[in-house]
Structure 1
Amino acid sequence: MKIFLVICLVAASLAAEDVLRGILRSPKETLKLYGDFKSQEHLKFLASEDRMRFRLFRSNAQLVAQANEEGGSAVFGLNFFSALTEDEKQQYLGLNVTGHDENPMHVASSSFSAPEKKLWTNEGLVTAVKNQGSCGSCWTFGAVGGLETRYHGVSGKLRSFAEQEYLDCVYEGQRNGCNGGWPDNCYDYSKKNGGRLASTADYVYTQKDGSCKGSSKPDAMVAAKINGYTSVSPTEAANIQALASGSLSVAFEVTNYFQQYRNGIIKDTTCTGRPNHAVTAVGYTSKFVLVKNSWGGSWGDRGFVKFARGYPSNCGLFKYSSYPKLVTTGQSDNTPSDKATDYRPSEDDDVKPDPQPNPDCKDRASNCRSDWCKYANIAEDYCQKTCNKCDGGDDGECPSGTIRCSDGVCRHEHMC
């Protein structure tokens, strides 16, 4: 009986092994994957730097493999963070928490009952994911995101507002906005300047701090003006209550673990307790809070991430939330709405599995996913079924560089 249990435990352990684990055991296969990665990310390095980048890549690939083997709902993968130094990673953050404590507790004053689910993306009231680039301007994106749905509630128009105005103007004469900031300072700036904020179309984002041009750009706050901000009590319940009426500017701690997120519902246990990134909460279900990031659509779940509900930590996600106070002007915003994201997460809380085409063969590795298929050696050597690499076409030939092994599966010869 004991032998049977040991066999079962070993089998379960092997079944949970991530596809990367087997590759990382082989220096040759790891180098091959690194080459595929550089090709996908359009990276080229001199020889001395390439050795350093390879070590970073291998370390992050090991992190991804371990994270996927933990068996939670979240899925992790390689992305543009996988070959960056720690200093380079910091440039994609930008929340300056110095002098700011978590929000104070407030006595609930509203009798409004939040619905069980509210996904502003699915109502077409969230703009497309943007990319802050290597400028620590996340604080501007969090603030602008917290404004979008609330301005629509007053005007009936979805507007893409200008992060660049906040980046150029909020700390003008004090410091470079790419070195960090605080979202609520954006709302204070607007209040001091007549409640204004330009549109992205009129004040384009440049990924660098420039001179303030706010007074020379058209004011896109036509139907309402920003008159300060409201802080949300630092509890999940208070955040859900506020999120039911509109998007929120929120802040949390980004970890190396979080940076490699691909999709699913995340529970990060690696936080140390200091917030460093501002984003926008744009909805919730009974299982997750949906957050819009500012690292472009290739990161995460098309630029979005799902944080677990009922998880006390969440790296401080509920402790620093706010949203702008708006005062109506009585004027109509007659400019057509800006384009909304077409991202529509499932409202039934399910994380749908990747399709598994071609039932006539098997994946060599467990835990294959379609997003691994962009890496040639994973697709052809490890995830043939998932990546539809079992057959070479109607004539039955294997793909170039592979042969048909004794089990009928096309692989590189050394893998048979």
Structure 2
Amino acid sequence: MNKLILLSIIMLMPLCLAQDISVEKLLAYNKWSSQHQRVYLNEHEKLFRQMVFFENLQKIQEHNNNPNNTYSVHLNQFSDMTKEEFAEKILMKSDFVDHLMKGISQEATHNDTNNNETQLSSNSLTLADSIDWRTKGAVTSVKNQGGCGSCWSFSAAAVMESFNFIQNKALVDFSEQQLVDCVIPANGYNSYGCNGGWPVQCLDYASKVGITTLDKYPYVAVQNNCNVTGTNNGFKPKSWIQIPNTSNDLKSALNFSPVSVLVDASTWGNYYSGIYNGCDQLHISLNHAVLAVGYDQQGNWIIKNSWSTYWGENGYMRLAPNNTCGILSYNLQVTA
């Protein structure tokens, strides 16, 4: 058994014995575990998972009973994970992201003549009061990355899908699995499949090789050998830019198209609905890549995630204005 689980069981045992587990909690656990088809290695792990679930359930109930909170939380596929496991299994390692950011600063902007014109026209836009690219048909369905830290490939595929729609009027699902398998050190990229990676490297790869469709190269949530040859495999982005770190710049970019954004999602696990403002703004660690698809009249960012439609607002989140969860830190937009 995983050493982390074993150690956690030992530490939690006194709490388990002392805790008053109500019939309601047991019923909630049984319903949840049946719904999510949970199968555990043995009774020890099952007991540990139950205790983690009960603790998470308690926090969810306390949060939702506080009328001052602007968002609600709910049971979902992560409800038997500790905060540490959630970070380990679902998010990218923040030190890994920090290392990548230092190493690829030169890749962030890929300029050509078209790109420079796009930047100028984007910056001179009159900003809409609100914008939501879903209403324009420019956003594909919400996906599920599963237990693989491949958010970077979903964010990159999504930003290319939306630009392809805006440019070519065709909404096509692109292959995240191709990016997971092929944007790798052996091909010259510092991205590592389920351990984390970088959306800008996906754009660079796709500009040279092309990105194929999801139905031709389906997602399997593990890294396999790259199954693509040649340099004519579908959509090729020609240019992209890094968005400056201000709310107005991100809004300006969103008036042109959806944007790939990096965030700190450490505390997002149980989000269900409402305006999320639950990040520790003093300790932001970028560890997740998503797609910003717009903003509302109050300035809340509209985020497409890759944790299935069961999470959040049918797979989406509304994030409080300004730099909530570090959303203004490192953002990319395809421009041609």
TM-score (norm 2): 0.80
Aligned partner (choices 130, 146, 150) of residue 163 of structure 2? 150
Aligned partner (choices 285, 289, 294) of residue 301 of structure 2? 289
Cα deviation, 1:361-396, whole Å, max 9, x if unaligned, reads: xxxxxxxxxxxxxxxxxxxxxxxxxxxxxxxxxxxx
Tell whether the 8 Å contact from 1:172 to 1:211 is kept in structure 2 after alignment.
no
Aligned partner (choices 165, 172, 176) of residue 163 of structure 1? 176
Tell me the number of residue pairs that the alignment of Structure 1 and Structure 2 aligns. Answer: 293
Tell whether the 8 Å contact from 2:86 to 2:269 is kept in structure 1 after alignment.
no
Cα deviation, 1:295-333, whole Å, max 9, x if unaligned, reads: 111111111111122xx441101211101242xxxxxxx
Residue in 1 aligned with 2:23? 28
* d(CA) in 2 for partners of 1:175, 1:154: 28
Aligned pairs (5 A) from 1:339-358: none
Aligned pairs (5 A) from 1:156-195: 156-173=169-186, 176-193=192-209
Which structure has more helix as a fraction of its residues?
Answer: 2
Aligned partner (choices 143, 147, 167) of residue 134 of structure 1? 147
* d(CA) in 2 for partners of 1:214, 1:61: 44
Secondary structure of the equivalent of 2:240?
strand
TM-score (norm 1): 0.65
* d(CA) in 2 for partners of 1:124, 1:313: 27
Aligned pairs (5 A) from 1:276-315: 276-287=287-298, 288-309=300-321, 312-315=322-325
Residue in 1 aligned with 2:37? 42
The 3 A distance-change label for structure 1 pair 217 and 42 is farther
Tell whether the 8 Å contact from 1:103 to 1:319 is kept in structure 2 after alignment.
no
Aligned partner (choices 61, 85, 88) of residue 87 of structure 1? 85
Question: Once the 2 structures are TM-superposed, how far is the Cα of residue 58 of structure 1 from its aligned partner?
Answer: 1.5
Cα deviation, 1:186-205, whole Å, max 9, x if unaligned, reads: 11112333xx1111111111
Unaligned runs of 5+ in 2: 1-18, 110-118
* d(CA) in 2 for partners of 1:315, 1:139: 17
Question: Once the 2 structures are TM-superposed, how far is the Cα of residue 89 of structure 1 from its aligned partner?
Answer: 4.5
| 1:203 equivalent in alignment to 2:217 | yes
Q: Report the AA paired with residue 93 of structure 1.
A: L
Question: Once the 2 structures are TM-superposed, how far is the Cα of residue 26 of structure 1 from its aligned partner?
Answer: 5.2
Greater C-alpha Rg: 1
* d(CA) in 2 for partners of 1:284, 1:31: 40
Residue in 1 aligned with 2:271? 261
